[in-house]
């Protein structure tokens, strides 16, 4: 046989093998595909399931004999364990997922603590007490159509998590009888975090980032209320060294959440600090106490820097629009803007002196930039004056010339009469 015929046969054989992984005949799949309604659903869905794609079959989860084409494939004698009731689901999934030796064989990178973690959560504890309305594995991951968690279609993919939790937690009818509100989803959707996540910032938290995927809290966090510092480490450091740390703890108050809330975290504004009507400080501090005076001082200093910055920014803008070169002053002014941002973070020291150290520096820079703007505008006026003078001079010269020409024309003798007829 020539090399070409061999190649042809190779291609033919490849074309005859069905696409995808070759599978042994599976009576469970064959018979269930032919059933009606709910009993056929698993067989129809399973092709998209991460387990099926890894080579597992119905019998790996449900037991039974996939080589038996009759109903006795599902006899308990053949290890068939049927469909788990809700209360049994965690152990049903955990049979494999908490077995490191077994799991390593398929995917060495996968954690095997989901069941043990789940049992520490409110969901897990309540399920053990017989409450079957809580979430078990399949309520979050689905069943027969389970996706890898990195798959954007997975209900536990970060962008989909809030909707998955909302199925129950935003359903007032379903949650009737529990003592917790059903507004977490609605509030979270309004937050800076939800907006950042929707904008593609995958470092922003969704429900499970704060509450933990399976456990009661994420790893390394003792209470959900302390989770903020895992991302906003600097704010936490400042807060921990502030007078509020001990004072809040003594009153049994949480830290960040006391001022920012837990779900409806909005973009903070300067109006939140101080003693104005929108300030949070006045929810605890009143006229006469040192916190009240401190709040007023901090707000005043930030407002001062903001004002100086805006004035400098405005005058440099005017200078730029009149064609003056002020790029050096612009660069300087940007560090006053950085000071403004820094001051807003330093609010978390709740120490007027520390805030003032930063705003004071920023005000000086802004003042200098403002002076540079004034100088640039003065320079512009001088140049305009100079231009005005030379323009006046040129106009005068032209007027003089015109006057002279007229004078010379007046002195010319008149044309001789009748000269027109001659031509
Ligand atoms: C000859 C057809 C047939 C075969 C083969 C078959 N099944 Fe079934 N299966 C059924 C029917 C029909 C039902 C409906 C419930 C019943 O009457 O037991 C059912 C029910 C089930 C249920 C639900 C039982 C419950 O507890 O509610 C599961 C799970 C199941 N089958 C899994 C399997 C698995 C796994 C295999 C292969 C090992 C398999 N089936 C093989 C026809 C079949
Ligand atoms: C990853 C494990 C897993 C695999 C693989 C799996 N099942 Fe299931 N199956 C479950 C669980 C868990 C339930 C219970 C779901 C519930 O109560 O919501 C279930 C329920 C069922 C039921 C009861 C009806 C229903 O939908 O609740 C049937 C029938 C069934 N499975 C058949 C199959 C068949 C047929 C296959 C193969 C095509 C299969 N299962 C593959 C885990 C699995
Ligand atoms: C309250 C919803 C919820 C419940 C209940 C739940 N999970 Fe998860 N699960 C998640 C989320 C969210 C992730 C992480 C997704 C990510 O990493 O982006 C996850 C991840 C996983 C992973 C991937 C590896 C890992 O740990 O990151 C496995 C496997 C898993 N879960 C299995 C289970 C099993 C088994 C159960 C039941 C014992 C269960 N899950 C219960 C929400 C849930
Ligand atoms: C028969 C053993 C077995 C059972 C039972 C089982 N799983 Fe799995 N599961 C696996 C294996 C093996 C993988 C790894 C597949 C891979 O990554 O190649 C896996 C993967 C997963 C993943 C994807 C993890 C990732 O890579 O992101 C999730 C989620 C998951 N299982 C959830 C469940 C849930 C929920 C149940 C119960 C309904 C369950 N499993 C029952 C063996 C099992
Ligand atoms: C199948 C419905 C269901 C789903 C899905 C669900 N939960 Fe729950 N969850 C409950 C029920 C019911 C409770 C018990 C209410 C109680 O504690 O009084 C609960 C309790 C909780 C609690 C404890 C509340 C408390 O302080 O008592 C938290 C936190 C929680 N769920 C977060 C989540 C998150 C995050 C998700 C999504 C990843 C989620 N849940 C998905 C039903 C669900
Ligand atoms: C930025 C972190 C964070 C995010 C994101 C978050 N939570 Fe919370 N959640 C908290 C904190 C903190 C508490 C208060 C816990 C405490 O007091 O111990 C809380 C409380 C809860 C409670 C208890 C009842 C209540 O309202 O106080 C439930 C239920 C809950 N969250 C569900 C959710 C759901 C569902 C989502 C997503 C839609 C979500 N959370 C998103 C931090 C968060
Ligand atoms: C998983 C990381 C993460 C956790 C946990 C987290 N955040 Fe955030 N937070 C972000 C990201 C990302 C942004 C959006 C980027 C930005 O604007 O700084 C953000 C934005 C904010 C903002 C607005 C900042 C601004 O200048 O607009 C506030 C306020 C905030 N978070 C407070 C909190 C509080 C309070 C908690 C705890 C209840 C918390 N965050 C938990 C990551 C996190
Ligand atoms: C006593 C009230 C209070 C507490 C407690 C508090 N904050 Fe703030 N936070 C504020 C105020 C007021 C602002 C707005 C400052 C401004 O814009 O002038 C703010 C602004 C922020 C900002 C936006 C500015 C920046 O830093 O980029 C973030 C993020 C933030 N806080 C996170 C946290 C975190 C995390 C904690 C807990 C460690 C916390 N806050 C504790 C009052 C508080
Ligand atoms: C939840 C209540 C609460 C809120 C909100 C709060 N504080 Fe306080 N603050 C306290 C308590 C309690 C103390 C310690 C007792 C005291 O000195 O008044 C304190 C102390 C202080 C001090 C130190 C006073 C001293 O002794 O020198 C300053 C400054 C301060 N707070 C500023 C602020 C500012 C600014 C805000 C708003 C951004 C704010 N506080 C919001 C409760 C609060």
Q: What is the mean pLDDT of residues 22-29?
A: 85
The answer to whether residue 208 sits within a structural domain is: no
The answer to whether residue 340 sits within a structural domain is: yes
The answer to whether residue 248 sits within a structural domain is: no
The answer to whether residue 10 sits within a structural domain is: no
Closest-CA residue, ligand 1 atom 24, reads 82
Count of Cβ atoms closer than 10 Å to residue 421 Cβ: 6
pLDDT at 168 over 70: yes
- Residue 1 confidence (pLDDT): 47
The answer to whether residue 49 sits within a structural domain is: no
Nearest Cα to Cα of residue 316 among 339, 340, 334, 343: 334
Of ligand 6's listed atoms, the one at least distance from the Cα of 183 is 26
Count of Cβ atoms closer than 10 Å to residue 88 Cβ: 14
Q: What is the mean pLDDT of residues 98-103?
A: 97
The CATH number given to whatever domain includes residue 353 is: 1.20.140
**pLDDT above 70: percentage of residues in the chain:** 92
Ligand nearest to the Cα of 52, by number: 2
CA distance 347 to 268: 12
Residues with CB under 6 A from ligand 5: 122-123, 126, 133-135, 139-140, 161, 164-165, 167-169, 178-180, 207-208, 211
Q: What is the mean pLDDT of residues 55-66?
A: 97
**Using one digit for the tens of pLDDT, what is the confidence trace for 230-245?**
999 999 999 999 999 9
Residue-number span of the structural domain to which 326 is assigned: 290-408
CA of residue 42 to ligand 2 center, whole Å: 6
Torsion of CA 386, 392, 397, 401, to 10 degrees: 160
Of ligand 1's listed atoms, the one at least distance from the Cα of 57 is 35
- Residue 290 confidence (pLDDT): 95
The count of structural domains within the chain is 1
Residue pair 57/26 in contact by the 8 Å Cβ criterion: yes
Asked whether 92 lines ligand 6 (CB < 6 A), one says no
Asked whether 352 lines ligand 8 (CB < 6 A), one says no
Residue from 156, 182, 184, 190 to probe ligand 6 pocket by mutation (most atoms less than 8 Å from CB): 184
The answer to whether residue 5 sits within a structural domain is: no
- Residue 126 confidence (pLDDT): 97
**Using one digit for the tens of pLDDT, what is the confidence trace for 265-285?**
999 999 999 999 999 999 999
The answer to whether residue 143 sits within a structural domain is: no
């Amino acid at each position: 046989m020539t090399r070409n015929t061999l190649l042809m046969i190779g291609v033919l054989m490849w074309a005859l093998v069905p696409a995808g992984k070759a599978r042994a005949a599976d009576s469970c799949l064959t018979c269930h595909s032919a059933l009606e309604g709910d009993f056929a659903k698993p067989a129809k869905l399973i092709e998209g399931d991460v387990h099926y794609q890894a080579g597992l079959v119905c019998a790996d989860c449900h037991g039974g004999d996939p080589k038996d084409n009759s109903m006795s494939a599902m006899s308990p004698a053949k290890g068939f364990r049927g469909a788990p009731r809700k209360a049994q689901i965690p152990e049903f999934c955990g049979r494999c997922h908490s077995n490191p030796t077994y799991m390593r064989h398929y995917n060495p990178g996968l954690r095997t603590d989901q069941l043990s973690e789940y049992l520490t959560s409110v969901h897990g504890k309540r399920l053990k007490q017989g409450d079957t309305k809580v979430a078990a594995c399949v309520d979050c991951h689905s069943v027969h159509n389970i996706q890898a968690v990195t798959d954007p279609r997975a209900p536990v993919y970060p962008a989909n998590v809030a909707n998955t939790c909302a199925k129950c937690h935003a359903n007032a009818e379903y949650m009737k009888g529990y003592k917790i509100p059903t507004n977490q989803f609605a509030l979270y959707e309004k937050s800076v975090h939800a907006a950042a996540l929707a904008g593609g910032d995958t470092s922003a938290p969704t429900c499970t980032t704060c509450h933990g995927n399976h456990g009661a809290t994420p790893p390394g966090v003792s209470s959900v209320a302390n989770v903020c510092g895992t991302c906003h480490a600097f704010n936490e450091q400042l807060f921990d060294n502030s007078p509020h740390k001990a004072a809040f703890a003594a009153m049994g108050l949480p830290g960040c959440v006391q001022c920012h809330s837990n779900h409806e975290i909005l973009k903070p504004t300067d109006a939140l600090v101080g003693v104005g009507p929108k300030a949070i400080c006045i929810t605890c501090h009143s006229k006469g106490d040192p916190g009240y005076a401190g709040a007023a001082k901090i707000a005043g200093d930030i407002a001062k820097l903001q004002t100086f910055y805006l004035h400098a920014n405005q005058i440099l803008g005017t200078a730029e629009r009149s064609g003056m070169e002020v790029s050096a002053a612009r660069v300087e002014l940007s560090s006053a803007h950085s000071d403004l941002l820094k001051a807003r973070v330093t609010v978390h020291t709740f120490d007027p002196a520390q805030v003032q150290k930063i705003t004071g520096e920023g005000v000086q820079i802004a003042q200098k930039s403002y002076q540079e703007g004034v100088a640039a505008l003065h320079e512009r006026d001088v140049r305009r004056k100079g231009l005005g003078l030379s323009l006046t001079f040129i106009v005068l010269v032209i007027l003089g010339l015109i006057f002279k020409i007229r004078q010379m024309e007046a002195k010319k003798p008149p044309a001789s009469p009748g000269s027109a007829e001659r031509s």
